[in-house]
Structure formats: structure tokens, C-alpha cells
């Protein structure tokens, strides 16, 4: 993967926009410092990553690759640029019934998919 210009960061991770050298696919790479994950949570974290890699639904973020080195975990995932739903709600103030139906259908479809694969979103 080659790194592109766009970056972001939060309390737990950095996110960089990257491109695959072979197929030119643009993805997001989340970099998590290992020291920020409690030792007793590491195994659970790795297990959750393995579960997420198996999911394939149009309304669930796709996780493509997972790597690690001595300091960091690297998660290669689908690049989503549309922003947060919460921010859209605040910005818009209210949704029409048609807009709310569209969003709820996406949410419920993804929850049903997860439940059908014995995964509970919390």
C-alpha cells in the first residue's frame, strides 16, 4: 500500500488514506498503537478483527486486511467519506419520512445480517 495525502486521528487511532500498488484500490488504513489496548483485551480485539473480516454487507464497513508489527496494529478497510450519521442529523435538523425510512432500512438490514451470522452489535 502507498500512503496518500489525507489523514485523520482520534483518541485511539490514526487513519490514513492509502492505495493498493497492485490494483490501485483506494482504502483507509487505521493505525492503532498496541500500548493503547489493555493487555487483557488484546485477544478479544484480534478475535473481533477476524469476525469483521468475514462480514460482507453493503451497509457494514468492509475490513480487507489486518497486519501488526511490534508497535502497532494496521487495519485496511473500506474508505468511507460521507461523514457520520449523527453529524448529518445535527446539520439537517430533521429528516423527511422518506429520508428516515431510507436510513432505518440500511441500519436494520445490517443488524439483521449481523444477527443472522450470530453477531450482536453493542
> Residue 78: which of 98, 103, 102, 58 has the closest Cα?
58
Helix (H) or strand (E) holding 53: helix 42-54
Question: Which of 41, 38, 58 is CA-nearest to residue 49?
Answer: 41
Specify the pLDDT at position 4. Answer: 47
> Into which CATH architecture does domain 2-81 fall?
2-Layer Sandwich (3.30)
pLDDT of residue 113: 96
- Per-residue pLDDT at 30: 95
- What local confidence, expressed as pLDDT, does residue 83 receive? 87
Residue stretches of the chain with pLDDT short of 70: 1-11
Q: Report the b/e string of 48-63 with b at 16+ CB within 10 A.
A: eeeebeeeeeeebebb
The pTM assigned to this predicted structure is 0.79
Q: Where are the domains of the chain?
A: 2-81, 84-122
Bridge-based pairing state of the strands 2-9 and 72-78? unpaired
Q: What is the pLDDT of residue 75?
A: 96
Amino acid at each position: 500500500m502507498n500512503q496518500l495525502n489525507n489523514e485523520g486521528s482520534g483518541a485511539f487511532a490514526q487513519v490514513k488514506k492509502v492505495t493498493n500498488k497492485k490494483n490501485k484500490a483506494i482504502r483507509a488504513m487505521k493505525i492503532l498503537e498496541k500500548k493503547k489496548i489493555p493487555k487483557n483485551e488484546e485477544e478479544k480485539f484480534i478475535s473481533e478483527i477476524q469476525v469483521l473480516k468475514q462480514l460482507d454487507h453493503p451497509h457494514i464497513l468492509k475490513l480487507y486486511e489486518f497486519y501488526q508489527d511490534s508497535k502497532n496494529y494496521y487495519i485496511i478497510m473500506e474508505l468511507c467519506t460521507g461523514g457520520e450519521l449523527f453529524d448529518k442529523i445535527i446539520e439537517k435538523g430533521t429528516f423527511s419520512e422518506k429520508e428516515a425510512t431510507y436510513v432505518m432500512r440500511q441500519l436494520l438490514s445490517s443488524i439483521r445480517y449481523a444477527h443472522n451470522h450470530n453477531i450482536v452489535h453493542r
